[in-house]
Amino acid sequence: MRKHFGTDGVRGTVGQSPMTPDFVLRLGYAAGKVLLEKNVHPAVLIGKDTRISGYMLESALEAGFSAAGIDVHMCGPMPTPAVAYLTRALRLTAGVVISASHNPYPDNGIKFFSGDGFKLPDATEAAIEAAMEQPMGCNPASKLGKVWRVDDAPGRYIEFCKSTFPSQLDLKGLKIVVDCANGAAYHVAPHVFHELGADVVSIGAKPDGFNINEKTDLASEVRKQKAQLGIAFDGDADRLMMVDDAGRAYDGDQLLFAVAKHRSGKEKIAGVAGTLMTNFAFEKAMARLGIGFARAKVGDRYVLELLREKGWLLGGENSGHLICLDKHTTGDGIVSALQVLGAVRESGRSLAELTAELVMYPQVLLNVAVPKGFDWKAHPSIKQASTAAEQSLNGKGRVLLRPSGTEPVLRVMVEGEPREAIESAAKSIAEAVKHAAR
C-alpha cells in the first residue's frame, strides 16, 4: 500500500505533512538513490507551476537530488506536460513537477515522469517509498550532483506544441481568448496560438504566487472581445475546457468527441478510452461511429495505462485531460486544444457543429467532505442509499461513488434523466455519506 504517493504523485497543503521542506528533501534524496540503482550518470529535470511555495520546495528537492549525487536541470515555471516533453528531448533520466494542478495556491505536490516522458511506473514509486524509510545521508563533496538552468525551455516547448498542429493549416482569422489560470502556461500558451496565426487575448497571465486557479468568467470575456472561442487551462496546463461565442462550454468528453469524430472520417480508430466518469452519451456515440470504447479508473494515469494496454491513441476524462498518444506521452492542455482547433479548421465546421450529435446525459456531481482514509464501503447506510437511488431512476441512469485521489472528499455522481430525479438521488446519497462520516 502506498504511504505517500497518490494517483498523481504526492500532494497536500504546504506546511503540513507531506508538503514540508524536510519531507521534500528526503523525497529528492530517496528518488535519487533509486535512480542511481538503475542508471549510469542519472540526471533529472525539475519544473514547477507558479505557486509561492514552489521556490521553497524546488530548493529542497534540488538539495535532495544533489546530496544523492544526481545532476539537476532546472526549467522554472513550465506546464506539467512540458516537463514530460523536455525530459525526453534532453535525454534525461526523470522529470519532476512541483504542482498541485487545479488545487488552490496553499496546496502543492510533487509528480514524476520517467525518461520516456510517461508517468513513473508503480514499481519505481514503490521503490522510492521504501527508500524513504531509510536514514538520509549525503554524498561526499566530490560526488555531489551539479545543477544547471535550462534557459531555452519555453521556446523549445512552444515549438514542440506547434509541431503537433497540421502543417498545412493555420489559425489566421480566428480570435481566441486564452485563460492561463495565472499558472504555468502563462508565458507559453499565448505564444503558441499567436505564432500559428490566431488573434490572441490573454487573461490569467499575471501570476503573483497566490492567484493560481482563480476563477474567471471566460464566456463573458469571449463575448466582450468578440472572439470565436475561449480556451481555459488549469494551473499546470495538463487539462482544458473551451467556450464558444454563444457562451456554450465544452468539457473533456465533448472535446474528445470532436477530435475522435473528425479523425474517424479520415482513418480507422480502433478505440477510445474514457473513465468511470465519462458521460454515457459518449459511449453510445462511439458505438454509432463504430469505435471501440473502454472505461478506466478515474485519473489520467489509468487512462494512459488502458491506452497502452490496448494499443489505442485517444483517451481522456470529462475533467479536461485529453491524451493523444500520437502527439504526446501525457495529457497536454495546449496540444489537446490544437487537436480540437485542427478539427475545426480542417472540417470548416464550428465546435458546436462538430459536437451536435453528442447529446449529453445530465450529470450531478456532489463532493462530500470525509475524514482522511474514510472507508465508505464499510457503511451499509451508504450502500442502501445508493441502491435506492439507482432503483428510483428506473434503469434510466447510473450512480457512481468514488473517493478523490487529491482531496479528502467522496465524489457522488448520478447520471440520467430527468434532471430532477438525479438531483434528488444525488442529494439523498450525499446526506447518507455526511451522516456516516460524522
Q: Which residues are catalytic?
A: 101
- Cell numbers for 135: 536514514
* Cα 322 to Cα 339: distance, rounded to the nearest angstrom: 10
| Residue 29 and residue 65 in contact, taking contact as beta carbons nearer than 8 Å | yes
Nearest 5°: the CA angle 108, 331, 123 is 70
* Cα 156 to Cα 258: distance, rounded to the nearest angstrom: 28
Q: How far is CA 281 from the centre of its chain?
A: 22
3-state secondary structure of 411: strand
Read off the amino acid at residue 319.
Answer: S
* Cα 24 to Cα 27: distance, rounded to the nearest angstrom: 5
* Cα 81 to Cα 323: distance, rounded to the nearest angstrom: 11
- What's the Cα-to-Cα distance from 75 to each of 27, 224, 298, 363, 380, rounded to whole Å? 19, 35, 30, 40, 50
What angle do helix axes 80-89 and 333-347 make, rounded to 10 degrees?
90
Pick from 68, 70, 73: which is nearest to 86 by CA? 73
Read off the amino acid at residue 95.
Answer: G
- Cell numbers for 103: 488545487
Question: Strands, DSSP E only, in 327-396?
Answer: 363-369
159-170 burial: b if 16+ Cβ within 10 Å, else e? ebbbebbeeeee
- What's the Cα-to-Cα distance from 14 to each of 186, 271, 372, rounded to whole Å? 23, 40, 17
* Cα 78 to Cα 240: distance, rounded to the nearest angstrom: 16
- Cell numbers for 369: 467532505
3-state secondary structure of 46: strand
* Cα 390 to Cα 428: distance, rounded to the nearest angstrom: 11
Residue 6 — φ and ψ, nearest 5°? -105, -155
Phi-psi region of 299 (alpha: psi -120 to 50; beta: other; left: phi over 0): left
Residues facing 11 on adjacent strands: 109
